[in-house]
Amino acid sequence: MYEIHKFLSLIFRATFIPGCLIIPWAIGLISLRTAQLALLVFILVFVIAPIIFRYSISLQRGLLFLTFVTYPKNLDYQNPPAVGLYGTRNFYIKVKDEEEFQGKHDEEFNIGLWHVLPRSLAKRFSKELKIDEKFNEDLMNTNGTTDQEIEVPKDILQEFEGVEITKELEQQFYEKLLSVPNTVIVLYFHGNTASRGSGHRVDIYKVLRNLNYHVITFDYRSYGDSDKVPPSEDGLVNDGLTVFNYIRTLTDNPVIFWGHSLGTGVSSHLLANMERKNIKNGPKGLILEAPFTNIKDEIREHPFAKPFKNLPWFDLTIANPMHTNSLRFESDKYISQYRQPVYIMHAEDDYVIPFHLGYKLYRTALDTRNKTWGQTYFKRFDESFHYGHKFICRAPELPALITKFVDTYKNEEGY
């Protein structure tokens, strides 16, 4: 009985719009030419376009990763202070796709990164870094943020105190500060569109900086000023692994992964890969901001898909091809494959990735993760705050939530 009902529902949905055009023409409300034109538009938009999408992996990647959407305009990646990030190094590292996967790039290429210093270290070396006076208020902690000084080893003080940090010294200086004992590093995985310099991303770096964490943020292949290598799920995951390996060549200090939006899928996939490969000294925890369960679920809920999702051929032409072409981001599968603690946060008024997908991922974690592993947490932000998809960074309680999570797990062994 259910199958008959489903079949009839498909027939109705497939014929409803054409019927709405033919009936007015039949009773003389619109002309034949108008009906033909409207029917042609329907066929082009709702039949031809989905068929093209089904067979074009380039189009699928383009609409998923949205690398052509860039803002802010004319961003100078070499000048992070222009977006309020004093004490920040811009640099590049090489990526090599070692494993075979769909979208593998044969040659080495560069991706762009920023290393944002903890505010305490930026303050300690403000003269050496020649930090502009306009940042003095933030540096001197007059904004009410709790200030805990980071103790700098004597050898670093002897090497750099009173020495201007020129371009030639910059790499050595920042990499040595990254290894200062008892500091925490947050590796940030951004979502699709734009770059590491987008406003809401810069805002979260500032929150983390003021908590005295190092922030390493990077642009995946084809984003920002990284080399224009076609993106793929495995490719983005490999970019993240390369950045993590760079950190581990310099220090064993605790690392926390932070993923936002599409970055939640990248970071979850990476952690599962690291667990499968038995990579030691991994991150101590994972923070997922505005996550989804998997791309098939998300694409049905995305605002761009609303005109198409009730089409009988939606799964055949749009959802399933992305899965077939390894554009899956199956966080609901990966979350049961790594042992690190997970902190999920989601705003109720998120209309890009609906709240219920983040909560569904949380419930999946509770049901599937080993009970001896790190705990899974969930934080709901009420829709009355209007944080939407991008602005949980504005929540007054966010610094305390992050601090509690990081302090609980930063020294945990076994990850």
Q: Residue 147 has which token pair?
A: 């200030």
Note whether 231 and 209 are same-domain residues: yes
Q: Is 350 noted as a catalytic residue in this protein?
A: yes
Out of 39, 64, 89, a domain closes at 64
Number of domains in the chain: 2
> Count of H helices and E strands in the chain?
18, 8
Given 195, 222, 261, 268, which residue is catalytic?
Answer: 261
Note whether 400 and 318 are same-domain residues: yes
What share of residues in the chain are helix, strand, coil (percent, to 5)?
Answer: 50, 10, 40
Given 219, 234, 297, 350, which residue is catalytic?
Answer: 350
From first to last of its 415 residues, what are the pLDDT tens digits of the chain? Answer: 555 545 445 555 556 656 665 676 667 667 878 877 877 888 899 889 999 999 999 999 999 999 999 988 899 999 999 999 999 999 999 999 988 887 889 899 999 999 999 999 999 999 999 999 999 988 887 554 556 789 999 999 999 999 999 999 999 999 999 999 999 999 999 999 999 999 999 999 999 999 999 999 999 999 999 999 999 999 999 999 999 999 999 999 999 999 999 999 999 999 999 999 999 899 999 999 999 999 999 999 888 888 888 888 899 999 999 999 999 999 999 999 999 999 999 999 999 999 999 999 999 999 999 999 999 999 999 999 999 999 999 999 999 999 999 999 999 987 8
Q: Is 105 noted as a catalytic residue in this protein?
A: no
Note whether 178 and 270 are same-domain residues: yes
Given 115, 190, 346, 389, which residue is catalytic?
Answer: 389
| Inside any domain, residue 414 | no
Note whether 286 and 149 are same-domain residues: yes
Note whether 220 and 363 are same-domain residues: yes
Note whether 21 and 73 are same-domain residues: no
Out of 35, 64, 93, a domain closes at 64
Q: What is the CATH number of the domain that holds 279?
A: 3.40.50.1820
Tell the residue number behind the tokens 């934080």, with chain if given.
Answer: 379
Q: Residue 39 has which token pair?
A: 């029917």
Q: Residue 303 has which token pair?
A: 């605002």
Out of 64, 87, 116, a domain closes at 64
Tell me if residue 112 falls in helix, strand or coil: strand
pTM: 0.93
Distance (Å, whole) CA 130 – CA 134: 11
For residue 230, the tally of other CB atoms under 10 A from its CB is: 15
| Inside any domain, residue 415 | no
Note whether 338 and 223 are same-domain residues: yes
Burial of 22 (0-12, 13-18, 19+ CB in 10 A): middle
Note whether 101 and 55 are same-domain residues: no
Question: One-letter amino acid identity for 68?
Answer: F
The domain in which residue 199 lies consists of 68-409
Note whether 342 and 391 are same-domain residues: yes
